[in-house]
């Protein structure tokens, strides 16, 4: 009787282990999990990823960002691209990953006109008492987001898919220091709001990336799937 009781007690545990076994497969391949997408927690370890300067001569080529290791982003892109209900067709990628902290329009239209340089912004990100502050910045993952719009004048359907972020106070702190620099240069405080900020990681897009000037907002409003950090 004791043997039968023990058998009946252990059988559900054994069955549970068998049913759970598929979950023990490599979680870093970003498989869909109950409509959620898995991402490797090592994506947050950016301190050893080199900071990259983005300084060009053309519009939209000057900006500041936190560089991510694409090794941990590519599995998410591959999954999203192969999931028709998400990708909705062709999805292009830049083959790299970053979080834009100062956008090209902010630099071109607001910061550069008062004399702020990309080098000064880079120095704020990498030098002084807050050395390498951007690459050491903390942030969290909110969800998988998607924005769609029809652009004119050619009536072209556009979409971009991104990882929406949360808990990014370190990035906002950097933007406040940029605001201080902007004010020292004689900038108009009404033109630059350090907290008007929608950090995300672009995974891919249909034709080109989309921005607020296109009328889209990459925040919680754009969430379409949960992302689980494993």
Residue 108 has pLDDT above 80, yes or no: yes
Residue 203 has pLDDT above 60, yes or no: yes
- Tell me what percent of the residues of the chain surpass a pLDDT of 70: 85
Antiparallel, parallel or unpaired: β 156-166 and 140-151: antiparallel
Please write the tens of the pLDDT for every residue from 174-192. 999 999 999 999 999 999 9
Please write the tens of the pLDDT for every residue from 50-103. 999 999 999 889 999 999 999 999 999 999 999 988 887 789 999 999 999 999
109: nearest Cα among 53, 174, 63: 63
Residue 172 has pLDDT above 70, yes or no: yes
Residue 15 has pLDDT above 70, yes or no: no
Please give the structure tokens belonging to residue 17: 């282990």
How many CB atoms sit inside 10 A of residue 47's CB?
Answer: 9
- The side-by-side arrangement of strands in the sheet containing 200-205 is 32-33, 36-39, 223-229, 140-151, 156-166, 200-205
Is the pLDDT higher at 7 or at 148? Answer: 148
- Tell me what percent of the residues of the chain surpass a pLDDT of 90: 74
């Amino acid at each position: 009787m004791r043997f039968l009781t023990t058998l009946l007690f252990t059988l559900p545990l054994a069955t549970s282990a068998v049913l759970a076994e598929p979950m023990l497969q490599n979680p870093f391949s970003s498989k869909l999990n109950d409509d959620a997408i898995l991402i490797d927690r090592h994506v947050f370890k950016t301190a050893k990823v080199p900071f990259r300067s983005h300084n060009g001569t053309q519009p939209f080529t000057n900006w500041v960002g936190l560089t991510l290791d694409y090794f941990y982003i590519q599995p998410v892109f591959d999954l999203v691209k192969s999931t028709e209900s998400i990708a909705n067709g062709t999805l292009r990628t830049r083959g790299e990953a970053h979080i834009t902290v100062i956008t090209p329009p902010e630099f071109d239209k607001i910061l550069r006109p008062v004399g702020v340089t990309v080098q000064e912004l880079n120095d704020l990100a990498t030098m002084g008492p807050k050395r390498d502050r951007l690459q050491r910045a903390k942030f969290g993952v909110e969800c998988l987001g998607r924005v769609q719009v029809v652009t004119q004048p050619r009536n072209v359907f556009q979409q971009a898919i991104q990882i929406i972020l949360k808990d990014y106070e370190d990035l906002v702190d950097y933007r406040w220091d940029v605001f201080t620099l902007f004010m020292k240069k004689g900038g108009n405080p009404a033109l630059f709001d350090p907290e008007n900020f929608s950090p995300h990681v672009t995974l891919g897009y249909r034709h080109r990336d989309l921005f607020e000037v296109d009328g889209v907002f990459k925040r919680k409003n754009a969430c379409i799937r949960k992302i689980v950090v494993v």
